[in-house]
Structure 1
Amino acid sequence: MNMLRAAAELALAAPSIFNTQPWTWVVHPDRLLLRADRQRQLPAVDPSGRLLTISCGVALHHAVVALAPAAAEVRLMPDPADPDVLASLRLRPDRPPDDSALALRAAIKRRRTDRRAFARVPVSTDTVDALIAACEQQQAHLHVLAWHQTSQFALAAVRAGALQLSDPDYRAELADWTHRPPWSGDGVPASTTVPAIPRRVPVRDFAPFGGASLPPGIDNDLGASYAVIYTNVDGVRAWLRAGMALSAVLLTATAAGLGSAPISDVTETFPTRTLMDDMLPAGCAQVALRVGHPAPGEPPATPRRVPAEVISEATDPR
């Protein structure tokens, strides 16, 4: 199989907002193009397309990692005439191979969004440092919350949930993406969501009217680390960088044997995103996440679209 097409297929495993998988790939003889799929944008949750773009950045980094140990060149926004072409990816045989990505490549298929509570054992300092370094390599920053900031973060999560669940458009969007037909290959099925339990920071309620069926575990996230990915500026390129950084952090956590879960709801409303900005040393909050030692057993995988729906061959070979 063509290496670029194989990379696009492995990148189907990337996480995305509401598991919308809002991207398509076009395979050219010498490059791979990543396109935004605007039909999968969430009007209520993501009217600006910021989270769609972050999701595409996650898929882009997954594809780069999937090419390991080959080296790849990434160009963001390569076609000024078509802003939906978010990135191009080319193999660069003249560059040294990226052996460091091999461990991350193996983590792609193992990584799962784990909404269960993590154990009381804290994440080691060395691992936290590795997560920060992985983020910086993608030209974004990771602010790991200090203990005293966690309560403020929890209040932001509570406020985000209250604001969103009071919006009928949000509730309709949530219902749509948590009740997908089995053949759709997307969305957040009840089997991957957990009922509410006491924990340090509440997680998004994907089943506010009942139906969550994944046991949440016996812990309460006491040992979890919470962090915010942020960028120096806002805008499409920054959103893509934040997505690539999120991918790098999640895969690094998986390779270290940790569980992880993105937390986007705290950046989806203006009041709570402002609270996130206030917790940072500088810059613009893009997405948060939780990492920690997972409960025994693997959480169920969320569905994925079939390659034929997402990947196409270029009709114009240029």
Structure 2
Amino acid sequence: MAINSCPHPTDMRADTQAVTEALASAVAAAGLAPSIHDTRPWRWRMTDNGLDLHLESSRLSDVTEPDVRLATLSCGAALHHARVSLAAQGWRATETRMPDPARPEHLARLQVDGPAPAPVEALTVRRTNRRPPPGRRIGPDELAAIITAVHAEGSLLHVLYPNQAELASWTGVTRSTGTGSRHDRSALLAIRYKRGEQPMNWLRAGEALSAAWLTAAEIGVSLLPLSANVTYPYVVLHLSSIDLPINRIP
């Protein structure tokens, strides 16, 4: 006798509701992602079992961002935040970048495939710290974790040591209030870069920035991106040790 292995309709409804709740949480987590001038230049569209990410051009300024590179990078960071949130909730998702060549503003699609074999531990919410750090240098294991996270997203990270870093001359920016030479002596600078000048590269660069930021927060490292006056696709990351309470992505 054949055994009907199809799920009961009530189980299917429960699964659908669980996926919908997970997607809503992922969108909320994506809202915490860093973005150029805090514009959050993205728009999410929820389907039955997935999310579509679109570049929201109405939030952009042609004067400050005519080629939408940093805006696309910001969307990449939001995309990675959403991916992490789904994984943290125990869902396996497939990511398709630039799914419709005829619509370049449609940046990505996340499709929930089902429960993950085991939920991953939730990563921490990003935080930055402009104050002078306590003086401890970042250890090699902490730095290796951040480098690994960046490489996993298809980008590269080049670390600059104090005798190599002349940040002020690169950016033309004076130090912010509360920062100073003590900050620079105990911190590390790194250049996050992604080869290529296409929207796909910009999107992947944003995912790598998010991965570095979340990893840094999880291991107690402050990360401050300095990109406004640095030639794209290079983003300078200011890394320093912290000892602050940590919140987790829902």
Q: TM-score, normalised by structure 2?
A: 0.82
How far, CA to CA, are the matches of 1:73 and 1:296 in structure 2? 34
Displacement after TM superposition at 1:97 (Å): 4.5
How far, CA to CA, are the matches of 1:247 and 1:21 in structure 2? 14
Question: 2:100 — aligned with what?
Answer: 79
Displacement after TM superposition at 1:150 (Å): 0.8
How far, CA to CA, are the matches of 2:22 and 2:143 in structure 1? 32
More strand by share: 2
Question: 2:44 — aligned with what?
Answer: 25
How far, CA to CA, are the matches of 1:238 and 1:98 in structure 2? 29
Displacement after TM superposition at 1:262 (Å): 1.4
1:3-48 CA-to-partner distances (Å, cap 9, x unmatched) read 1122111211111111111111000002100111112223333221
**Do the aligned residues in 1 keep the contact of 2:98 with 2:200 (CA within 8 Å)?**
yes
Question: 2:17 — aligned with what?
Answer: none
1:253-293 CA-to-partner distances (Å, cap 9, x unmatched) read 000012221111232xxxxx2xxxxxxxxxx7332211212
Displacement after TM superposition at 1:84 (Å): 0.7
How far, CA to CA, are the matches of 2:134 and 2:63 in structure 1? 34
Find runs of 4+ consecutive structure 1 residues off by over 3 angstroms: 94-98, 294-298
1:290 partner amino acid: H
How far, CA to CA, are the matches of 2:94 and 2:135 in structure 1? 41
**Do the aligned residues in 1 keep the contact of 2:65 with 2:71 (CA within 8 Å)?**
yes
Displacement after TM superposition at 1:197 (Å): 4.9
Q: Return the structure number with greater relative CO, CA threshold 8 A, min gap 6.
A: 1
- Unaligned 5+ residue runs, structure 1? 163-193, 201-218, 268-272, 274-283, 299-318
Aligned: 1:35 with 2:54: yes
CA RMSD of aligned residues (A): 2.3
| Mapping for residues 179-218 of structure 1, pairs under 5 Å | 195-197=176-178, 199-200=180-181
Aligned: 1:232 with 2:213: no
**Do the aligned residues in 1 keep the contact of 2:131 with 2:178 (CA within 8 Å)?**
no
**Do the aligned residues in 2 keep the contact of 1:228 with 1:285 (CA within 8 Å)?**
no
Displacement after TM superposition at 1:297 (Å): 7.7
For the residue of structure 2 that corresponds to 1:147, the secondary structure is: coil
Q: Which residue among 115, 138, 151 is the counterpart of 2:130?
A: 115
1:58-110 CA-to-partner distances (Å, cap 9, x unmatched) read 000000000123222111111122111110001123864462xx242xx02xx
Displacement after TM superposition at 1:122 (Å): 0.6
How far, CA to CA, are the matches of 2:54 and 2:78 in structure 1? 11
For the residue of structure 2 that corresponds to 1:83, the secondary structure is: coil
**Do the aligned residues in 2 keep the contact of 1:239 with 1:286 (CA within 8 Å)?**
no
How far, CA to CA, are the matches of 2:122 and 2:139 in structure 1? 19
Q: Which has the larger radius of gyration?
A: 2
- Percentage of pairs with the same residue: 35
Displacement after TM superposition at 1:196 (Å): 2.8
Are residues 220 and 36 of structure 1, via their aligned partners in 2, closer, same or farther at CA, if it must alter by over 3 Å? same
Question: 1:223 — aligned with what?
Answer: 186
How far, CA to CA, are the matches of 2:114 and 2:244 in structure 1? 42
1:146 partner amino acid: Y
Q: Which residue among 132, 138, 155 is the counterpart of 1:140?
A: 155
How far, CA to CA, are the matches of 1:113 and 1:121 in structure 2? 17
Q: TM-score, normalised by structure 1?
A: 0.65
Are residues 11 and 221 of structure 1, via their aligned partners in 2, closer, same or farther at CA, if it must alter by over 3 Å? same
